Amino acid sequence: MTTPGQPLDSVAAAASRGQGGSSTEGERTSNVREPRSADPTPASADPGATYRLVVVPGDGIGPEVIAGGRRVLEAAGRLFGFGFEWQKVLIGGVAIDAYGMPLRDEDMAACAAADAVYFGAIGDPRYDDPKAKVRPEQALLALRKGLGLYANLRPVTVQPVLRGSSPVRESLLEGVDMLIVRELTGGLYFGKPSGQSDGPNGREVVDTLFYTEGEIRRVVKLAFELARGRRKKLTSVDKANVLSSSRLWRTIVEEVKPEYPDITVEHRLVDACAMTLIQRPAVFDVIVTENLFGDILSDEASVLAGSLGMLPSASICERRTAYGLHGLYEPIHGSAPDIAGKDVANPLATILSGAMMLRWSLGQPAAAEAIEKAVADALAGGYRTPDLVAATGEQPGDKKVGTQAMADAVVAALEAGAVSAAGAGTKGAAQ
């Protein structure tokens, strides 16, 4: 349950470190309310809890990677003494096919009422026509706004055994450990007016980059808190030499900075930051930026890890459940329809997103760390999905596997780790 008065920096430390039981189906009603001020304090573990999760397989490879992620979470639940009540919801292209819309009100309500949302991927090339009235991606934007998911957290680390899979020179990857904090419910993706019209000189189009002071301040304060639990360095990214919104962003960062005298703050223009991400990625600790810049920079940073299939994400709001912050957890990759159904997608980003869910929303940090270690152990054991082999070719000791076999390797490593830990505990007690 929630632990009152726990220091805010403890969640930052937990987040910087990372990236099952019974299973039933259930239905609940919405409990959306206006969020209060940010408080990222984590909950403590609740032994024997059954967590109510909405699972969204989505489109393309989403169902495959979610299936692997669920197996890992269920295994963690068995080992750590908690369970899950799963409610499957159709969102995205599959929902357009079933209901004629990408997200129904009742499915939004189910997501709001759950302890957390475990999300695969959405996107379908059948709806890529710019003239299409409904598109799968509309659901994701609606979920972010409707659930108040104001901050997207994307940890970027490089597994030592995968340095050869990155196109970036290996010597530059030493010490890479950053957290990108992206504002998620404002900016160009939500500003109004937005649209195309006919004008006296032909077609015209407008998008609006709109932010309130409160929207900027809450995500900036969260980023400061996260930096406090890590290496105490915050990089704020903007385009203050051109954009009024960025000048306000920079001003608010400077206004908040005196509240955190232990944090070193720097400002970088987005184009300079994009270059430094490749040239000297290890200089970054926590990066905070607005919606569009964060979308682009975090995808760029994925090349450091060797594959989009390696990076998890958490989208969190200010609203608390009984166990932690309400949030939506998904891999950063898309639906990849060209490889859907072929059992070749990398499930590790989805599995690591599940670990983030355990830490942030469900109050199970020990289980989260165990999953993260199991992923590292499976990779150290040579297991590779095709995307991880593609950059370097198959190496001696590599075991090229598909989606489900990779998830099985993580489950096996998780169970082996639990046996090893139990054995070490028994030996220690005997001594």
Per-position DSSP letters for 6-40, written without gaps between them: --THHHHHHHHH-----EE------------S---
The interaxial angle of helices 62-80 and 348-360, nearest 10 deg, is: 50
Q: From 146, 130, 83, 153, select the one nearest 294 (Cα to Cα).
A: 153
Do the strands 286-289 and 233-238 form a parallel or antiparallel pair, or are they unpaired?
parallel
* Cis, bond preceding 35 (omega within 30 deg of 0): no
Tokens representing 192 are 């109004």
Which residues are the active-site residues? 189, 239, 271, 295, 299
Which residue in the block uniquely carries the two structure tokens 């400002």? Answer: 267
Give 81: exposed, middle or buried? Use CB within 10 Å, 0-12, 13-18, 19+: middle
Sheet with 325-331: strands ordered across: 23-24, 83-88, 50-58, 116-121, 325-331, 312-320, 151-157, 177-183, 286-289, 233-238, 264-269
Pseudo-torsion of CA 42, 46, 52, 56, nearest 10°? 50
Strands (E), 259-311: 264-269, 286-289
Report yes or no: 18 and 355 within 8 Å, Cβ to Cβ: yes
268 beta partners = 237
**Cα–Cα distance measured from residue 420 to residue 336, given in angstroms and rounded to the nearest whole number:** 37
Q: Which residues contact 169 (CB under 8 A, 6 or more apart)?
A: none
